[in-house]
Structure 1
Amino acid sequence: MEWAQVPDAAAFRAFRQRCQDGSWQQDRGGLAVSLQLPPPGCAIHQLKCRIDVPDVPAATMYDVLHDSEYRWEWDTNVIDTHGIAQVAVNADVGYYAWRCPKPLKNRDVVMLRAWQVEDGYHTIINFSVKHPKYPPRKDMVRAVCLLTGYLVHSTGPNSCSLTYLAQVDPKGSLPKWVVNKASQYLVPQMLKKLHKACVQYPAWKQQHNVNMKPWLYPEQNKLPVLALSELALQRAASLENIDESSLAEEKDESSDRGALEN
């Protein structure tokens, strides 16, 4: 069993490097996408998406990514999201469940999330962990997040760029249309909605616990403290494999709903 650890400075540097490395396969309208498909017999793929945001400061983007209360306002994929426990001043454990494109089963994940602000970069890193009180649910497929996160880079006093990186095992044999839809439409669409949410966030926050930002002020964090020894890394091998590779895409009127990644 591999025990969970809070990412150190080297891990944050490595994540930043991974976000910045490599060529972008699609780049249009200030939004770029890079997809690395897995080799045969492997379910793990890596997706990167970057968006340039000319009218939102990096600090606001960072606040929106953290604010779980506000996520209910803009994330149409969310089924459930909440914090479970804090494990460090810059790390916590949380639960997230989301809708997948029909007819796939919905997914959920328990993740350790860590964050850092340094040198004009705001970074959030997530990876899957096992929590004793959050076993896999019968009505969900427990996905495995090897590494996901956000890199927000300030490009001016009121502008920034956001890179989203996901290295995920969705735990199951998926049809090709799912991966294609996620990379070409769902994730880029999510980032566009996130941009719009960021523009609206300052006005919303004025009416909702305006000074409550535990990701900036650790003393505000009211989650119970959990020892890292209670958490182990979640690996795909310990979970039931779900074969959905033969499922055909269903027409969904709310076509922007349901994403492969979280």
Structure 2
Amino acid sequence: MDLDFRKEWDQYVKELYEETYDGEKVIYWEVKYPFPLSNRDYVYTRECREMDVHGRKIWVVLAKSVAVPQCPEKPGIIRVKSYKQSLVIESDGKAGCKVYMYYFDNPGGMIPSWLVNWAAKTGVPAFLKDIEKACLIYSKNT
């Protein structure tokens, strides 16, 4: 949820900020893609709810793409128009948590099979390790 901190640890963030348009908080996120592919960007809303279920802390984060005229597409960047994420984080009551995530986006354009294979075999596991490291650093700084 902390966009400024995300910019510190996520090497794929090119641009990331939140603006309010017509009373609604909207996030703009540009993701670096490897050469020779074009970067992708997202415009989306999200909400977070913290719950206490029988003494267990649970956080639910929902995000989905939106179209806002104040955030037009940029030349040379492919807009991801179909994005949805549902994330649930549950405390294990100790020093850890369980994470459940549904994630979908259509990155558009032609994504070569080598990149799809890299993402599945290397990129996603490495990203999860980066998130884990970031969480450990974040908890020490808060």
Task: Please tell me the TM-score bracket, short chain as reference.
Answer: 0.7 to 0.9
Residue of structure 1 equivalent to 2:9: 74
Say yes or no: does 1:155 pair with 2:92: yes
What is the SS of the residue equivalent to 1:124? strand
> Aligned AA for 1:77?
Y
Q: Are the structure 2 counterparts of residues 149 and 179 from structure 1 closer, same or farther at C-alpha, using a change threshold of 3 Å?
A: farther
Q: 1:176 aligns with which of 110, 113, 116?
A: 113
Distance in 2 between the 1:86 and 1:71 partners?
Answer: 22
Distance in 1 between the 2:68 and 2:131 partners?
Answer: 29
TM superposition shift of 1:149:
3.5
Say yes or no: does 1:131 pair with 2:64: no
Residue of structure 2 equivalent to 1:63: none
Q: Deviations over 1:51-106 (max 9, x none)?
A: xxxxxxxxxxxxxxx11111121011000100012788xx7311000111332111
Q: Are the structure 2 counterparts of residues 164 and 100 from structure 1 closer, same or farther at C-alpha, using a change threshold of 3 Å?
A: farther
What is the SS of the residue equivalent to 2:132? helix
What is the SS of the residue equivalent to 1:174? coil
Residues 21 and 70 of structure 2 are in contact (CA less than 8 Å); yes or no, is this contact kept in structure 1?
no
Residue of structure 1 equivalent to 2:30: 97
- Structure of higher RCO (CA pairs closer than 8 Å, 6+ residues apart): 1
Q: What is the percentage of aligned positions where both structures have the same residue? A: 28
CA RMSD of aligned residues (A): 2.0
Distance in 1 between the 2:38 and 2:105 partners?
Answer: 16
Q: TM-score, normalised by structure 1?
A: 0.49
Q: How many residues align?
A: 138
Q: Are the structure 2 counterparts of residues 70 and 186 from structure 1 closer, same or farther at C-alpha, using a change threshold of 3 Å?
A: same
Q: Are the structure 2 counterparts of residues 151 and 86 from structure 1 closer, same or farther at C-alpha, using a change threshold of 3 Å?
A: farther
Say yes or no: does 1:200 pair with 2:133: no
Show structure 1 runs of 5+ residues with no match. Answer: 1-65, 206-262
For 1:9-20, list aligned pairs within 5 A: none
Residues 155 and 161 of structure 1 are in contact (CA less than 8 Å); yes or no, is this contact kept in structure 2?
yes
TM superposition shift of 1:114:
1.5
Residue of structure 1 equivalent to 2:42: 109
Distance in 2 between the 1:198 and 1:86 partners?
Answer: 30
What is the SS of the residue equivalent to 1:138? coil
Show structure 2 runs of 5+ residues with no match. Answer: none
Distance in 1 between the 2:98 and 2:140 partners?
Answer: 22
Residue of structure 2 equivalent to 1:188: 125
Distance in 2 between the 1:79 and 1:68 partners?
Answer: 12
Q: TM-score, normalised by structure 2?
A: 0.85
TM superposition shift of 1:192:
0.7
For 1:179-258, list aligned pairs within 5 A: 179-205=116-142
Residues 123 and 149 of structure 1 are in contact (CA less than 8 Å); yes or no, is this contact kept in structure 2?
yes
Residue of structure 2 equivalent to 1:19: none
